[in-house]
Amino acid sequence: MQLTWYGHASFLIEARGLRIITDPFSPESGYDPIDESADIVTLSQDDDRFHSHVASIKGSPTLVNFRTLAPQGIKTHGIHFQAVPVWEDVNRSKNPNGMFYFSVDGIRLAHMGDLGHPLTEAEIEPLRGVDVLFALAGGNHTIALDALVDAIGRIRPRLVIPMHYQVGKVKLDIMPLSELLALIPTMPVTWHDSPTIDLFADKLPEPTQVLVLKHAR
């Protein structure tokens, strides 16, 4: 599997000859346009230009909208996508969206969507033991960093890949990655000098490590 972090909450996942793009952002975010094709585009919600700007993707991809996904999920292109319903605020009243998960190439992936509240045990359970967690690391507007650290400890992914944090060009009031890393000083961190990395199911680290990618856009 090859992963590329475009920026914000958007990744390109290339596996089994497929191109999967998560939560495409509008250039209004401050990032440059994605402007690439995909077979599948996953949307944690469908009305946030920073998480669902399908116009930035070329071609006619299959769209998987986790805001409206049935509890049993959906299977497309041979991949079973499922989601945990969550909200953008601590009161669970604003912007319902989906924290989604799926497996490809023997690697279990989970994306935190636009989560804004601490997770209950029932919400954690479907994600427990995933291999890769795309983690909301910017604090403001999403899950508080202390609640995120708690969630990481309970989910116990093998890799945490931070996303949705301030890289200097994001037009949102979100924190830099250093704020999260200060809360997990004993967790190993690898700084990858590229937006793209190859992952192999039999070579993932254990216990949990943080993998920091550069943004491609």
**CA dihedral over 194, 195, 200, 201, signed as positive or negative:** positive
Within 8 A by CB and 6+ apart from 155, the residues are: 110, 124, 127, 128, 129, 130, 133
pLDDT tens-place string over residues 95-120: 999 999 999 999 999 999 999 999 99
Domains of the chain, first to last = 2-212 (3.60.15.10)
Give pLDDT, residue 129: 87
The single residue listed with the structure tokens 């992936």 is 109
- The parts of the chain modelled with pLDDT lower than 70 are none
Kindly report the pTM of this predicted structure: 0.97
pLDDT tens-place string over residues 115-156: 999 999 999 999 998 999 999 999 998 999 999 999 999 999
Give pLDDT, residue 93: 92
